[in-house]
Chain A
Amino acid sequence: MTVGVVMLCHASLHRAAQVARHWAQAGCPVVIHLDRRVAEADRANFAAALADLPDVRFSRRIACEWGTFSLVQATIEAATRMLQDFPQAGHVYLASGSCLPIRPVAELEAHLAAHPHTDFIESVTTADVGWTVGGLNKERFTLRFPFSWKKQRQFFDRYVRLQRRLGFQRRIPEGIVPHLGSQWWCLTRPTLQAILHHPDRARHDRYFRRVWIPDESYFQTIVRQLSTRVESRSLTLSKFDFQGRPYVFYDDHMHLLRRTEAFVARKIWPQADQLYDTYLAPATETASRPEPNPGKIDRLFAKAVERRTRGRPGLYMQSRFPSKARGANRAAAPYGVFEGLDDLFSDFHPWLARVAEARVHGHLFAPDRAQFSGGEPVFKGGLSDSASLRDYNPRSFLTSLIWNTRGERQCFQFGPGDVQDIAPFLAGDPNASIAIVSGAFAIPLWRSGRSVPEIRAEAARLQKIEADFIALLQGPETKARTRVWTLADFVEDPVEHLHQIVDDLNPRAPHRMTELPRMVDLSGFGGFLQELRNQGMQPVLMGEFPAVIEMDRIGRGMVRPQLAR
């Protein structure tokens, strides 16, 4: 007993001829169905190329269109011919002209000989199908599809929608339980015979003529009534992209094809000389096959689909630029933004770098230059500290910075003295965690030693900017995680608030805040605020700051030994 091969061919006929010759020379009878739309000259060449092989036959030609019953009809024609002409064929393998046997034919024959009564055909009920594109699985059997999907796509889609809305349903004939699966199967002679000579064959054909893509359901459905043993997997490796189009294998897939358990792969790029030369060579040196690992192949293709449909979040580049509605407002990784904390604590940067294990920058959006960590003039990826380059496109600046440093948490200081153009992006970015001690901008003003009338306008301006930023963060579009304390609240219990900040940044980190940053001595700050009021400014963002502050008490709290929680 041997395996007979039915080949459906319509293009790249020189490759199809090579493959047919390979099958035939290995002792497998071949019946070829050639699309009737192939030009006569091409057909003649093709037939001439195979004329010397007695066990290669051609079946009656049907004009084939993808998605229609013509493909099933063509398969039936060729399979009938196969059963008639070649009684030695114990199994029949359905392949296409762009399929390539990637394991020696002898291995396939051995495999089939070991399972003489098994039909290898992927056959899954419509409820369990996960791969169909466009949501059409059960509906393939219950709607009508008079329009060509390829040529009349608009009509096709509209008619489907119309039928859904009207609740139209075709009746599925009795005895038919819709199953779907790969078009490429390998059936035993008795099963195939039973399908072709089924007493209800005419009724089946009439029904499937109006089913959508019947080549993925005709045999897959009927085999369930007749087969004694179905192994629901295809022996052909065939992968589809997210739009349901088959992937093509190229020369550089050689290593991949070696890892598959399948016997045949499709589709092969017609110009993949190396693949054709290697796999169609006489089977001698293919003994050193590595251990099959189909999972690896599945993962690779799943990754490709993900890259095509979801992309790499936070990457903005020439072939990925999501529109506003598609969640474009996002950096590649979580990062921390701190406002006011470096005004309140004199050594906030080094402290944060130690406890959060993060890269801590200064004011990245300072008006004069971007203060990269360590004062670097050019940061990772070639980002310049030039303020004009940064301000030309601040969103690209920030997303590039976060993208370039994937794997390392980034933190930077922000404040009302900085260029604010980036603020809406920060607020809308779910990867941003923003901690603000509002009103702290007044501390450096107070410490500058300048007179209050001099400072008053500046303080009012900064307060306005900070208030706008906080209002933005409280808006409905905000996706950033934000914590806003007034200066008075923060000073009330700085340790607890610092804990919250570190937890937000690094929730899974062990709590080992063994040291705390040094707080600026605020004695007299309350008086400064009163002086601002006296000058006609209303300092509101600082909260109810006490007129007299006990720095001793706060100081004691700051050195309090940390209790394990």
Chain B
Amino acid sequence: MEPATAPRQRLPSACPIGQLPEPGLGAWSPWQAYRLRLRRRALLLRAARRRGQLVPVADRTAEITPEDVLCFMCVRNEASRLPFALNHNRRLGVRHFLIVDNASTDGTSALLASQPDVSLWRTGASYKAARFGMDWLTWLMLRHGHGHWCLTLDADEILIYPYWQSRPLAALTEWLDRQGHASFGALTVDMYPEGAVSQAGHTPGDDPIDRLGWFDSGNYQVQVQPRMRNLWVQGGARARAFFADSPRKAPTLNKTPLVRWHWRYAYVNSTHALLPPHLNEVYDTTGGERTSGVLLHTKFLPEILDRSAEEKSRGEHFADGAQYAAYYDRLAADPVLHCARSTRYTGWRQMEALGLMSRGGWI
């Protein structure tokens, strides 16, 4: 009976369900808007200052034509995932890839440089110091993304959206344009195999979802951070398996990967939030549903075991790497994420029925 008085983790500075105020209320909002503008400018300046770190390997940006959907990525040692990632995104209708290779040693660079629709830059600089690669991508987007619908992904994320098998991205972006929406939200869903992670097996070029057929369907925690009105969704398999004791540190799962870009825009925190803040409102606040997608996260392929050990020693992936040491240890220890309540993935319609994504009004 005691623990009710014991210290508990309180809700963070975020609005839980039922507590989100209407936007733009309060006398402080102009001041807040001004501060966010300063912050956005600082991000752009920072990106511009780091542009020298990028060495062009294959610059094919002259081939970009207006209205092309562009895909931006920052990768490191992704030779096994990239063949599928490129093909999937090509199938969706991405016309050009702009990729930063952060000192890969596994042939990623050669693989990318030989693709006719990839422009490649290389850098050996610190991923963490470049805001986890976002400074580099911000610069590339500023230079090449203006006016385009830009898709910003990691190599282990597979974007799906309503009707993705029959309607290319151009159909989605035209629908979003027509709705007056400049950004599109997606939930990262951790996919995992039925047994231990090391047992999944994967051949480069194959669909990793064949091996990672399972996910958690209904344990996501949703809040909104009122300052930039960005979502803060956590949960899923990683929170359940690795962050039960420190849920606040669980990875953020909401992303805004697809944006009708303007050179003045900037991602703030990976692709979880961006400025100006109106781009973060990928959700409907009046009760309806907007169109949204899912990023199938294929992190849990067998290579994660070695990769976790390496990432832990490099300490490049979290602002405070030491806090996540235990997380990496458990990742490297070949975890089993599957449980009796896991759900087998069957497609976007299932994801929609489960409430992880929505068609919104798109028919």
Contacts and interface: CB of A to CB of B under 8 A. Distances in A.
Interface stretch (A129-137, A278-286, A383-391, A551-559): A383-391
B18 A319 contact: no
B175 interface: yes
A307 B247 CA distance: 32
Looking at B20, B231, B248, the one whose CB has the most chain A CB atoms below 10 A away is B20
B17 A308 contact: no
Interface in B300-352: 339-343
A403 interface: yes
A384 B222 contact: no
Q: Which of A307, A329, A401 has the most CB of B within 10 A?
A: A307
B170 A326 contact: no
B167 A319 contact: no
Nearest to A331: B17
A320 B284 contact: yes
Contacts of B17: 316, 321, 328-329, 395-396, 399, 425
A317 B285 contact: no
A367 interface: yes
Nearest to A328: B18
A319 B283 contact: yes
A304 B223 contact: no
A317 B240 contact: no
Interface in A326-384: 326-330, 367-368, 376, 378-384
B220 A384 contact: no
B166 A251 contact: yes
Nearest to B187: A318
B287 A322 contact: yes
Contacts of A243: 179
Given A323-B20, A388-B9, A382 B222 contact: no
Given A382-B237, A392-B247, A393-B16, A322 B178 contact: no
Interface in B149-194: 163, 166-168, 170-171, 174-175, 178-179, 185-187
B219 A248 contact: no
A425 B19 CA distance: 10
B171 A324 contact: no
B355 interface: yes
A320 B283 contact: yes
A57 to B, nearest CB: 31
B290 A319 contact: yes
A271 B18 contact: no
Contact of B219 (A245, A250, A311, A381): A381
B289 A247 contact: no
B21 A308 contact: no
A304 B185 contact: no
Contacts of A392: 9, 11, 221, 234, 247-248
Contacts of A291: none
A241 interface: yes
A396 B220 contact: yes
Contact of B285 (A242, A321, A400): A321
Contact of A320 (B3, B219, B248, B358): B358
A320 B8 contact: no
Given A250-B163, A252-B166, A381-B219, A319 B21 contact: no
A378 B288 contact: no
Given A245-B178, A389-B244, A399-B17, A309 B239 contact: no
Interface in B1-25: 1-6, 8-9, 11, 16-22
Nearest to A377: B339
B363 A301 contact: yes
Given A384-B244, A388-B247, A318 B233 contact: yes
Nearest to A419: B4
B100 to A, nearest CB: 27
A310 interface: yes
A300 interface: yes
B289 A307 contact: yes
A305 interface: yes
A205 to B, nearest CB: 31
Contact of A318 (B22, B185, B216): B185
A316 B187 CA distance: 12
Interface residues of B, number: 78
B65 interface: no
B279 interface: no
Contacts of B342: 382
Given A323-B22, A389-B247, A318 B288 contact: no
B57 interface: no
Nearest to A315: B355
Contact of A400 (B2, B8, B218, B292): B218
B79 interface: no
Interface string A257-300: 00000000000010100000000000000000000000000001
A320 B287 contact: yes
A382 B361 contact: no
Given A324-B19, A458-B1, A319 B291 contact: yes
B9 A271 contact: no
B67 to A, nearest CB: 12
B359 interface: yes
B70 to A, nearest CB: 18
B99 interface: no
Contacts of B340: 376, 378
B352 to A, nearest CB: 10
Nearest to A441: B1
A239 B234 CA distance: 38
A188 B359 CA distance: 41
Given A317-B358, A399-B17, A391 B9 contact: yes
Nearest to A309: B288
B244 to A, nearest CB: 4
B219 A400 contact: yes
A321 B246 contact: no
Interface string A428-439: 100000000000
A253 B22 CA distance: 37
A535 B358 CA distance: 60
A382 B217 contact: yes
A307 B292 CA distance: 13
A428 to B, nearest CB: 7
A471 interface: no
A381 to B, nearest CB: 2
Interface string A455-476: 0001001000100000000000
A389 B5 CA distance: 18
A307 B361 CA distance: 6
Given A252-B166, A329-B17, A381 B218 contact: yes
A310 B288 contact: yes
Nearest to B235: A396
Given A329-B18, A330-B18, 18 more contacts: A252-B163, A269-B174, A308-B360, A312-B289, A318-B185, A320-B290, A322-B284, A324-B18, A325-B22, A326-B286, A327-B287, A378-B341, A382-B339, A393-B11, A393-B247, A396-B220, A400-B219, A419-B8
18 contacts: A248-B171, A248-B178, A271-B171, A307-B358, A308-B289, A311-B289, A317-B222, A317-B356, A318-B283, A320-B358, A322-B285, A378-B341, A382-B217, A382-B219, A388-B244, A389-B240, A404-B217, A421-B11
Top 8 A-B residue pairs of the complex, sorted by shortest distance between their CB atoms: A381-B218, A308-B361, A382-B216, A319-B292, A392-B247, A367-B3, A404-B218, A329-B18
